Amino acid sequence: MKSVLLATIVLIVLQWTCEDAESATSPKDMEVGVVTAHSQGLHGYIGYSASRPEDRVAYSAGMGFYAAVWPLIDKPIAHFQIGLPSAWITPNNSDNKDKPLAPIGTLARDNWPERGPTWDSVFQTVEGGLGYWAGNHFRYGPPKFSMNATPQCYDYEVGSPGWSFFYSNEALPDNRLGIAQLSNRLLIPPDALPFEGNPNGKFLGYTYMALPFTEPTTGDPPTGDQAWTCFLISANFKGPIAYYIPETWSKIGKLFNYPFIYGRGLDARPGNMGGGAMEINTVPCFEAQDSKGIVYSKIPRLQFPVDDKGRTLLVQDVTYYSKAALYDAFKAWRDGGPSCSGRFEREGAWRATLTTHKTRYDQAGTRITDADKTFDTKVYENNVWGLEWFVDNVDKKGFFPQYFRREGDHLVVVSESDVPAETNLLSQEFRLAQPGAPYTSPKGGVWGNPGPAKGPFQVKLADGSLVTYYWYRFVDQPSFQQYDWSETKKAKLQAFIEKIHAHWPIDRDYMDPPTMGKLAELDPALFVTPPKGMEVGYVPIVTRQEAV
């Protein structure tokens, strides 16, 4: 990930704090054996850079890779947030050197002057991926997968066909819905997609591909044809799951009466895509002082999968795509040409070479200086990025340091045996997560007009939640109803979606298979079968998710 984007993430994640988090305690305020807690136990990035083709603009119609899936913690801990390796896409506005893309009145423009003069890195993004998030309502051990995007300078985020990125129990306002459910075989719950069993180091492939489901328009606002579509590749599901409606990106210009940004969003511009990283954000921490006045701290035990060769393999097959990979054939099919298989053509693919980033960690702003003595990042053969361990592994697992000692202006790693018993740290257990409030959606508005064709139906997921969903005709799903589209446009899109449902199965290799390793399995409870008579052209829309 490019340095400017990493800096952007730093700024953003520091806005996110746990509801019950306390500030780190100053040593002078501590007493021997009195344990205090806060949520700033670990910050940092474990990342890589990816080379780019000489013609960057040409290969900016998609990006994908395979990322490892594993339980980073052995128990579901409350208010814990670490993203597993993921990526970041922004619209390419490199021709604009000094004019703001973020309108006055947006969160980024009014609060982050250091992002000026253009605010390009916080204008619009496609992000999300694998991880644990502080806002998750239903934790179960392994990570989850979630889409996410910021269409309006971080005023809000769109993480599923109905909800934001775990920030609210209630569905997004009607005019902020942005994702169109595409798959008629897979549910997309607001708390993200869980996995089957214990995918300890298996891989999930995902690609965001810009596809032309609809034609560009010159109306108010003018809108491009790029629908950033999420493809997933797992052992039991392969194919596109959903896409961002192009108007999601273009409407900011009209909303703020700012014509300069017409045509500058992700609906129309090539995507900027760099490397990727694990974002280490909200990690609970215990602190205590011994009788000598030395402060020790403890964080949860973070674990990584280790293979038979002692390696942790995290990311492989990072690939950039031009329109020759899928866009061109997809558009021709939409316009009446031959059917398109959906496979990404290799003539439009460019495989990146990976290099590592130097890791850096801190705890509540105090730097941890020697964590790299435990492991460091490394690019292995076949251009696979991961971790190299300098300590013995236990049961094919590598462990991030768990205990630290404050020495002046920094922290050093210590073993459990080095922590004085009088601190009472060793016996401290981190609070386990409890089920959260239900995710709810309204009965009326775009959810009820024109409304579903069949339902409700319910399934119980591996994370212990109960999901309620209805079957909607594709163009009748809630996200589209905010737009005054003609009946002709809706009919053409509906007919095309019916072709996709009929011709694109869930067991086809849309991405090339991974170079190494096995694929993880999504929770089988996510899979649905369309009712009789609704085999094509209808999609399952989640309307509620709650604890059982």
416 inside domain: no
Closest alpha carbon to 145 in 260, 234, 257, 39: 234
Instruction: Domain of residue 62: give its range.
Output: 3-403+434-547
pLDDT in tens, 293-321: 999 999 999 999 999 899 999 999 999 99
Sequence-separated (6 or more) residues with CB below 8 Å from residue 156: 150, 164, 172, 176
Q: What are the DSSP calls for 107-166, one per residue? A: HHHHH-GGGTTT-GGGT-EEEEEEEE-TT-S---SS-EEEEEEESSTTS--B-SSS--SS
417 inside domain: no
Average pLDDT on 138-163 reads: 97
Q: What average pLDDT does the structure give for the chain?
A: 93
**How many domains would you assign to the chain?**
1
pLDDT in tens, 87-98: 889 999 999 999
422 inside domain: no
472 inside domain: yes
Residues 244, 266: contact at Cβ < 8 Å?
yes
CA distance linking residue 411 with residue 363, whole number of Å: 8
Q: What are the DSSP calls for 179-216, one per residue? A: EEE--SSB---TT-B-BSS--SSEEEEEEEEEE-SS--
Q: Which two tokens stand for residue 350?
A: 């460019």
413 inside domain: no
Confidence tier at 128 by pLDDT (50, 70, 90): confident
Residue 3 CB-density burial (10 A; 0-12 exposed, 13-18 middle, 19+ buried): exposed
pLDDT in tens, 236-255: 999 999 999 999 999 999 99
409 inside domain: no
419 inside domain: no
The whole-model pTM stands at 0.93
425 inside domain: no
